[in-house]
Homo-oligomer: A and B are copies of this chain.
Amino acid sequence: MFTSRPVGFVSSPYKDASQVPKGLGAKHEADGVLAVLPEFEAGLTDIEGFSHLVVLWEFDRSHGFELLGTPPSDNRAHGVFATRSPRRPNPIGLTIVELLRREGCELHVRGVDMLDATPVLDIKPLLSGVAAEKLRRGWLAEAEARKSAGPVLP
């Protein structure tokens, strides 16, 4: 068990859940900023090399959970683990964003669907799952290139 702590906060155009595109065919193309707290800035080292990031965040304006619920994309109830419902046993949301640029502690990103001021719990590089021609894998691709170009050690 651990107690969650914010490593930063989302700056988003959405001030209220009703403003977030939901349901079938909803597109998440809004620009936003992940403002990482200065004490965690060193953790962003080399993040510029990745085109897409996995953002884990806290549903901080949702309370309690329900095991069955009817999502905006259907008129039938489904299990919480088969949906993206905010009312989860652990209130963790997941969004994949495109990293546009970094400015110090600020990550300017595209594709936010979080509410403004949402606490960010974690950021991870996306290593697959985006069309190869659009995915940049930063230091990992460089390490792979160095390894394949280097001498074969016995």
Contact B90 A49 (CB under 8 A): no
Given A74-B143, A94-B54, A122-B89 in contact, is the A43-B81 Cβ separation under 8 Å?
Answer: yes
> Can you tell how many copies of this chain the complex includes?
2
How far apart are A68's CB and chain B's nearest CB, in angstroms? 6
A124 at the interface (CB under 8 A from B): yes
Across-interface contacts of A80 in B (CB, < 8 A): 43
Contact A1 B2 (CB under 8 A): no
A15 at the interface (CB under 8 A from B): no
Q: When the two chains form the complex, which single residue of B90, B121, B122, B130 contacts A5, counting CB atoms closer than 8 Å? A: B90
Nearest CB in chain B to that of A55: its residue: B81
How far apart are A25's CB and chain B's nearest CB, in angstroms? 8
Question: Binary interface profile of A, 59-80, with partner B (CB < 8 Å = 1, else 0)?
Answer: 0000000011000011111111
Q: Which 5 A-B pairs have the closest CB atoms?
A: A129-B129, A45-B79, A42-B67, A74-B143, A81-B123
* A-B CB contact pairs (8 Å), 12 listed: A3-B4, A36-B81, A42-B68, A43-B80, A45-B79, A46-B82, A56-B56, A75-B143, A82-B125, A90-B122, A128-B129, A129-B130
